[in-house]
Chain A
Amino acid sequence: MRRFEQVLRGRPPAVEAWGWALVLAALAYAANVIGGAHAANPLTPTAMTNSIFAAGAFNLAAWIMLFQRAPHLLGHRPASLRLIVAMLALGLFCALPAPPVVPLVLAIMGLALFRQPDLTRAGRDAGWLLLALAGSLGAPFLRPLHAMVARIDAAIVVAAMRLGGTTVALQGNLIIGKTSAIEVLTACASSAPLAGVILAFVMVVIYLRGRLDRADAPWLAASLAISIVLTEIRLSLMVPSSAAWDWWHNGPGNTIYELVALVFATLFPVIAALRNRARPVLAAQA
């Protein structure tokens, strides 16, 4: 133990230890994204850059915002021995190439950051960004949850279509129409995009206003609700025929759905940020 303490002579500031942990997590994230996209192809600098961009603009922007805040997460104090050991353990964990490792590490970092006594505003923002990014990267691994939600989605779509006068039958996650049937799989469940919607909300609000507020909660809820409604609408549009399924699943309909979802995912946080920023001014005028 004494020898280990000797290694730690000249302890870095706590904020530097957090910065290193962030770098190691980012490295693992990039390696996963690049490796996953190019396991069978040669790695060129362009291909590597493209795979980072293809992994999601919101993910990339979240990392950029995290690194912008990294030097200001905490007050000025040296890193404790516990923090350094935890950071090294997280770094070692990041060396495991299993994709669920990164979201797990980010979630641990986010939760741990909120427990720091000298957390700054930038630190709080970074905590929310870490948790939102962990949710966004980890959501695909919550398959049992998405499978459960897929059955509920199927039931909702069937109920809505019956209300609209269409004859459809429900069997588990299968929606059976007159001439075709669709199976709501985990990636198509309404819960699948929610973590991404939360990430978009957190990022846009922090970017526009610099902080998250309790008053944003209803806007976040509205953002999530719209995302769910959009998914149900898209599913119900797929049911009538295999051509309709193809159009909404693989064709232009999919692009339309994604664009509309993106508009709502960014519109609600923009409204939340602008309204809640304007409120104190209005109160002062009154």
Chain B
Amino acid sequence: MSVLTPLRVLILLLGLLSLHTHAAWFRLQHKAVDPVPVLVAGLAALGLQVQPPDGQGFVAATSPGCPAPLVAGLFAIDGGEHARYAQLLGPGTDARFVYMGQVAPYAEELHAPRRWAMANAQALLGLRNTPVPTKMVLVALPAACPQLVDEDWKQLQGK
């Protein structure tokens, strides 16, 4: 009987797959960065005047064409921080939720948990080399400045 039977080759491939998935996973963990500075940089890249984050991690910013400030924050994608982000959404605000390069007026429309799971599956297989965000961005826009709605908010969190 040959030493290299198809089954043994299959097992060898499984071993290599295991090493590959583990290495890819830990490499991603090493790459994980604090999302708040990324959010601040993203708002600045949109040409906004950004304030330092407050104690709760909320970031206020103003646009040249709008005197009222907008406020952005990061929230868990599982909806567990609903009460926290409700603080940002008052009667005079419009919401834009951003997750992995997609923007929607309602968090549910982003299907964030499903996309998080898909992205993690890709990461496990080594098909993704950037960390999968566990938080989504909420931008509370002042309703007095409707032009802000059309900003390219998806830049705040890349794919």
In the complex, residue of chain B having the shortest beta-carbon distance to the beta carbon of A84: B7
A121 CB → nearest B CB, Å: 27
Task: Kindly specify which of A32-40, A134-142, A177-185, A233-241 makes contact with the partner chain.
Answer: A32-40
Establish whether residues A97 and B22, one from each chain, have CB atoms under 8 Å apart when the complex forms: yes
B117-143 contacts to A, CB under 8 A, are: 124
On whether the beta carbons of A35 and B18 are closer than 8 Å, the reply is: no
**In the complex, B23 has a CB within 8 A of chain A:** yes
Interface stretch, picked from B8-16, B62-70, B83-91, B106-114, is: B8-16
Contact of A10 with B1 at beta-carbon distance under 8 Å, contacts A31-B22, A84-B7, A96-B124 already known: yes
0/1 interface trace, chain A 78-98, chain B, CB 8 Å (1 if under): 000000100010011011110
Q: Is the CB of B14 within 8 A of A92?
A: yes
Question: A25: nearest residue on chain B (CB-CB)?
Answer: B18
CB of A177 to closest CB in B, whole Å: 32
Residues B18 and A27 in contact, CB atoms below 8 Å apart? yes
With a 10 A CB-CB cut-off, give which of A20, A94, A95, A96 has the most chain B CB atoms: A95
Contact indicator per residue, chain B 1-45, by CB within 8 Å of chain A (1) or not (0): 110011110110011011101111110011000000000000000
Whether A20 and B11, one on each chain, are in contact in the complex, defined by CB atoms closer than 8 angstroms, is: yes
Identify the B interface with A (CB < 8 A): 1-2, 5-8, 10-11, 14-15, 17-19, 21-26, 29-30, 124
A interface bracket (residues with beta carbon within 8 Å of B): 20 to 34
Given A7-B6, A10-B2, A20-B11, answer yes or no on A95-B30 (Cβ-Cβ < 8 Å). Answer: no
**A40 CA / B18 CA spacing, docked (Å):** 20
- Residue contact A97 to B25, C-beta cutoff 8 Å: yes
Interface membership of A9, Cβ < 8 A = yes
User: Considering the complex, which residues of chain A in the window 18-74 have a beta carbon less than 8 Å from any beta carbon of chain B?
Assistant: 20, 23-24, 27-28, 31-32, 35-36, 38-40
Mark A residues whose CB is within 8 Å of B: 7-12, 20, 23-24, 27-28, 31-32, 35-36, 38-40, 84, 88, 91-92, 94-97
Which residues of B sit under 8 angstroms from A11, Cβ to Cβ?
Answer: 7
Interfacial chain B residues near A88, Cβ < 8 Å: 10-11, 14
Among A24, A31, A32, the residue within 8 A (CB) of B11 is A24
**Which chain B positions have C-beta within 8 A of A39?**
26, 29-30
CB-defined contacts of A12 to chain B, threshold 8 Å: 5, 7-8
A-B pairs with lowest CB-CB distance, top 10: A35-B26, A31-B22, A97-B25, A91-B14, A95-B18, A7-B6, A97-B22, A95-B17, A39-B26, A20-B11
Give 18 A-B pairs besides A95-B21, A97-B24 with Cβ atoms closer than 8 angstroms: A10-B1, A10-B2, A11-B7, A20-B11, A24-B18, A27-B18, A28-B22, A31-B23, A35-B23, A35-B26, A36-B26, A38-B26, A39-B29, A91-B11, A92-B17, A94-B18, A95-B17, A95-B124
